[in-house]
Amino acid sequence: MAVLFLSTAARAQVFREAFAHALPDVAFHVGEAPDPLRVRWIVTWNAPDDLATRYPNLRQIFSIGAGVDQFDLGLIPAHVGVVRMLEPGIGAQMGEYATLATLAMHRDLPRYLARQQVAEWAPGENLPAPRRRVGVMGLGQLGTLVIDRLRPFGFDLAGYSRSIRAIDGVSCFTDLAPFLARTDILICLLPLTMQTRGILDAALFAKLPRGARLVHLGRGAQLVAADLIAALDQGQLSAAMLDVTDPEPLPADHPLWRHPSVILTPHIASQTSAAEGAAHVIAGVSADLAGRPVAGLIDRRRGY
């Protein structure tokens, strides 16, 4: 039995040492396996095109990062489990970034950064946090963590998810329209699915209160960039902070780079620790060997 690792050399070294210590009887290969028939588990960001034919005994494919939307699930055999990365640092970093971004939107940071460029001293009016309505789209592990990080500031918090949720002190919605209507700062943490691709568009922005702000932490393909720019230029939205774009990297001539109401970061809200990632994969392989459920195994019908 073997693990095939398809990522950077630096990460490979950390994983190799961790596997040698924890699972010495499981062969660990980087880049390619001498005998593809022995490969039971693959750790990667992108699935090989010939996955189904080259590795007929594959049992699990582990994402090296937080998402699994980069995989074409239609090309991965139905019997192969797809496992998302569960690494504690991902949530902690996302909580930090979401707090940073929410406060930046709340305190009008894009406006002041733009005025700094033209040496204009023009104070605005601060709004108390309890009067700012923050809405989180996506109430999975990361969404609920972000809500917990924002609680101490006193924001009026709400959340949206497809399934019914109950979170103490948070207004939870399964109907998108009323959720948007009460949201001044919208935080998108939705997974990328066929239903969420392009969801951040002109129609959605029109349902927000005029002057609302956007924090986008989901996936770049969920945002229609031209619609965001139009909403900003027309005043329907007043600011946005984006950590994901489509494509990535964003071309140097893209207007989002220079829009005065946009703060843009290069998909750094959270980054996987190699050591913690290795521990998660080792736990998953160990569980699979013992016939136990693998933590992070996705529901392929839902795509996450």
Measured CA to CA, the distance from residue 27 to residue 214 in angstroms comes to 46
Radius of gyration of the chain (CA): 21
**Token pair for 277:** 């990632």
The CA distance from 195 to 302, in Å, is 10
Q: Given the residues 111, 115, 267, 300, select the one marked as catalytic.
A: 267
Active site residue 219: yes
Residue 259 known to be catalytic: no
Q: Which tokens go with 153?
A: 């500031």
Token pair 């034919």 is found at 53
- Helix, strand, or coil (residue 289): helix
CB 172 within 8 A of CB 159: yes
Task: Please say whether the beta carbons of 44 and 64 come within 8 A.
Answer: yes
Amino acid at 286: S
DSSP of 165-214: --BTTBEEESSHHHHHHT-SEEEE-PPP-TTTTT-BSHHHHHHSPTTEEE
Choose, from 133, 219, 259, 280, the residue flagged as catalytic.
219
Let me know how long the chain is: 304
Instruction: Give the catalytic positions in this structure.
Output: 219, 267
